[in-house]
Structure 1
Amino acid sequence: MSRRPRPSRAVFSLACPVVIFLASLVLPAGGTSALAKSPSAPLDELRKTFTIDGKPVPPEVFRDMGDGDMADSGSIIVTIDVKAAIGSNLYFDDIKANGDWFTQTHKRIGDDLTEESAYRFIGATENKLLVVIASYSGGGSGVFYTLHILDAQAGRGFDLEGKLYDRLNLTVLRSVALGDRWDGTVKITGNVIAITATGGVPAGEARKPTTVTLKAERP
């Protein structure tokens, strides 16, 4: 009677690395696989919830992207690394949540005014652009609202020691002034944004309900 041949050692030497790799992807409950830590994960989270590692984007980002600069006709700072912005000294003011809105207040040096920056994340369009309504008050009675269409992209750069690090760049593609004490709704359908103002009497001037549609697109 002939014996069945035994598998060669070469077969096991090739198979073991594959088994080890597959085993490394299987973790106990609550663990995170190597696939979940891919560079696209923070970008996907930002596009879905406008957060990074569960932390909201600082509202004062929109102040610096043009909402707080009403003297110029267009934004000067158009891109901010929001990964670096979260937890930074530049945006150290406490972030408070009120329903869907996130707010930061900042005591201005040299006067008694307190500025307030806030935003509400509307969502992402079909082509993965982000839609946000932001408001800004410099400390007076006016509260000025702006709709922002933004593009978020992962990037890399060199730090002060010349080492590579990851960036998450948020860029304003288009801003639409909604006015003082605006009140209304915003709806996304595919790549079309419908802005409906409910009317009201902000700043003592009556407004009629209006609806404006915009196409969200990259230049």
Structure 2
Amino acid sequence: MTRTIHSLAVMLLLAGTIVFYSYAAEKTLPPPVEKVLSHEWAISPQWQNATYTFHKEEFINPRIVEEMQGPLSDNGSQIISVNVHNANISNQFFSEVRVRSSQAMPFVYYTKSESEFGYIFVGATTTGIQVVHTMSTAGGSGIFHTLLFFIYTDSEEISFKEEVTPVVLPTLTLIGSLPLGIKFAGTISLENDVLTVLPSKEFYQPLPQYSGGVILRFDD
């Protein structure tokens, strides 16, 4: 009797697996959408010499990136620019920066209670547009993935000292974001100013905005 029940369970499991993969095979995603972004960004000529970066020590604090990304429930950007040089050592954005180095680029993150937020540097275009892949959790099993696009700009502020004068500051500026959904398992690459984002080939997992993926060429 026990062997019969076991055999039936195995048969049902195999049948379910076959049905699942047959269903997944029938589902096909459209080809990736190809886009060209032509724009001359006002990028600071000193962007490669920034003290704090996404890809090496000293890392930009992930809490700053989280604040600039904003809540997942909101549309559009609220915090556009941050003086990273001051913010990275401020009490406002203080957190213990941690690093996992199991991938080609380090995963830079911080934790708070049961949540975690971090990022991986994807790369930079020849003109200085920096692409960052963020991942965040809120205590559940879901991992929310987003691509953020940053540039360094030269901003001016008023300096109140012996003389009141304008001062030029290198400022990290958010110029765009692309949601990738929950449990993104696809691929992201940036080569020769071409960003390629593709969904997983093993599972039927369309992307929120471009279900079959997107190929974005930066033509600055």
Shorter-normalised TM range: 0.5 to 0.7
**Is it true that 1:50 corresponds to 2:54 in the alignment?**
yes
Distance 1:104 1:150 in 2: 20
Q: Report the identity percentage.
A: 23
TM-score by length of 2: 0.64
Structure 2 residue aligned with 1:59: 62
Q: 1:127 to 1:55 in 2, by over 3 A?
A: same
Structure 2 gap segments, 5+ residues each? 1-43
Distance 2:91 2:169 in 1: 17
Q: 1:134 to 1:46 in 2, by over 3 A?
A: farther
Report if aligned partners of 2:51, 2:85 keep a CA contact under 8 Å in 1. Answer: no
TM-score by length of 1: 0.64
Select 2:111's aligned residue among 105, 112, 121: 105
Q: 1:50 to 1:168 in 2, by over 3 A?
A: farther
Q: Which has the larger radius of gyration?
A: 1
**Is it true that 1:213 corresponds to 2:215 in the alignment?**
yes
* Higher RCO (C-alpha under 8 Å, 6+ residues apart): 2
Report the CA distance between 1:83 and its aligned residue: 1.2
Distance 1:104 1:160 in 2: 35
Report the CA distance between 1:155 and its aligned residue: 3.2
2:108 counterpart letter in structure 1: F
Q: 1:49 to 1:64 in 2, by over 3 A?
A: closer
Report if aligned partners of 1:130, 1:151 keep a CA contact under 8 Å in 2. Answer: yes
Task: Map residues 68-217 of structure 1 onto 2, 5 A cutoff.
Answer: 69-99=71-101, 100-107=106-113, 114-159=114-159, 161=161, 167-199=169-201, 206-207=204-205, 210-216=212-218
SS of equivalent to 1:55: coil
Q: 1:160 to 1:60 in 2, by over 3 A?
A: farther
Q: 1:138 to 1:78 in 2, by over 3 A?
A: farther
2:193 counterpart letter in structure 1: N
Task: Map residues 13-52 of structure 1 onto 2, 5 A cutoff.
Answer: 43-46=47-50, 50=54
- Could you list the structure 1 runs, at least 4 aligned residues long, displaced by more than 6 angstroms after superposition: none
Structure 2 residue aligned with 1:9: none
Q: Deviations over 1:50-104 (max 9, x none)?
A: 368x31001112221134x122211111211111121211221110110111001
SS of equivalent to 2:175: strand
Report if aligned partners of 1:47, 1:123 keep a CA contact under 8 Å in 2. Answer: no
Report if aligned partners of 1:116, 1:138 keep a CA contact under 8 Å in 2. Answer: yes
Report if aligned partners of 1:55, 1:86 keep a CA contact under 8 Å in 2. Answer: no
How many pairs does the alignment contain? 167
Q: Which moved more, 1:43-52 or 1:184-193?
A: 43-52
Q: 1:91 to 1:217 in 2, by over 3 A?
A: farther
Report the CA distance between 1:106 and its aligned residue: 2.3
SS of equivalent to 2:121: strand
Structure 1 gap segments, 5+ residues each? 1-38, 108-113
